[in-house]
Amino acid sequence: MPELPEVEVSRMGITPHILQQTVTKVNIHNPNMRWPVPDDVYQITNLPVIAVERRAKYLLLICELGSVILHLGMSGNLRVVDKNEPLKKHDHIEFIFGNDKALRLNDPRRFGCCLWQAPDTVHKLLSKLGPEPLTDEFTAKRVYEYSRNKKVPVKQFIMDNAVVVGVGNIYANESLFKAGIHPKREAGKVSLARYQQLIPIIKETLAAAITQGGTTLKDFAQSDGKPGYFAQQLLVYGRKGEPCMKCEKELTEIRLGQRSTVYCSNCQK
């Protein structure tokens, strides 16, 4: 599943091509996404995109009448192409612009979405989200206070969008390894000092992934079609049974919240 860095890389990739460009046409080739694509999306037609923003893993194409909300789901990607380029299989939604470019959402599994947010409102999908991880609002003190009496494993805790948005499975694995925290440790039993170590690591890990173009996942490509490169530097994720890069002990894989969790039983306590 594309995680926050991949979505941010997509935002950075598409923005130069569509910012301040007028949408001349919206083509909904398949409205049956995770939720049916509402007709409200057509309101962006004949209006310029005045901003391209990201909230958690959602991208927002903002115009004066509202915002188109896009989510890549588990296998989606966005591409900017010439408007006359033939459609690819699973190109479900496209926005045609006055510069003869097209922004296309391709999603084989159709777990993504294309929705509408009216001006001066917050869509229900965005209304209960926690802070962005790369902002000053995401602090060790806030996380520590929120974690008190929480018995949920710390890995699942930092993946909770009410705690912080966008810390997905890959980056939770990596951050906990770097901080030396066992993923099954109860969130409420992690000390303030350890959160003070973990939170900067989460920020650094996500920032590094964004800088390097996102993680190379099976179904992810940047808006220009090129894969990211951060996967080459993953320390634990996807390395079950391989030696720990710190102590050389064999890495262990378990399931937490139905997600693959890889850690070093020697380095993470």
What Å distances lie between residue 134 and 204, 208, 210, 212, CA to CA? 9, 11, 11, 16
Q: What are phi and psi of 61, to 5 degrees?
A: -95, 110
Q: Which of 2, 5, 153, 183 is catalytic?
A: 2
Binding site for DNA: residue ranges? 90, 109, 150
Known catalytic residue: 218?
no
Binding site: residue ranges? 90, 109, 150
Known catalytic residue: 31?
no
Q: Which of 55, 57, 178, 239 is catalytic?
A: 57
Known catalytic residue: 259?
yes
What Å distances lie between residue 232 and 13, 67, 128, 239, CA to CA? 21, 35, 34, 11
In contact, 11 and 18? CB cutoff 8 Å: no
Known catalytic residue: 174?
no
Q: Which of 17, 19, 65, 70 shows the shortest CA–CA distance to 45? A: 65
Residues with catalytic roles: 2-3, 57, 259
